Amino acid sequence: MKLIGIFAAILHSFVACLGLSRPRRASTTEQRTKEIGIRKVLGASRSEIILLLSRRVLALIGAGAVVASAVAWLAMHQWLSGSRIERR
């Protein structure tokens, strides 16, 4: 039950973060409307514009994934090796 509770809390946090990112993307698009228009006139494709708008968010997600993977690996390594983390 404890593991299910932890998983539910993590899932809840993930869904909450998704809800917070949508208004930010909308405001970013509104702020960069002129830039998007100029890029479209100069021949940019849809995928290039989407990448332009989401580059910063993708970089943050990637950095978070790297940090989370390292922490998860360390925790699982400690747990599976049978040793406990000593607190001082």
Count of CB atoms within 10 A of residue 44's CB? 14
Give residue 57's pLDDT band: very low, low, confident or very high (50, 70, 90): confident
Are residues 13 and 52 located together in one domain of the fold? Answer: no
Structure confidence by residue, pLDDT tens digits, 3-54:
888 888 888 888 777 766 666 666 777 788 888 889 899 999 999 988 888 8
Are residues 53 and 19 located together in one domain of the fold? Answer: no
The model carries a pTM of: 0.51
Are residues 78 and 56 located together in one domain of the fold? Answer: yes
Are residues 60 and 82 located together in one domain of the fold? Answer: yes
**Structure confidence at residue 25 (pLDDT):** 66
Number of structural domains the chain divides into: 2
Range of the domain at 11: 1-31
CA torsion 44→60→57→15, rounded to 10°?
150
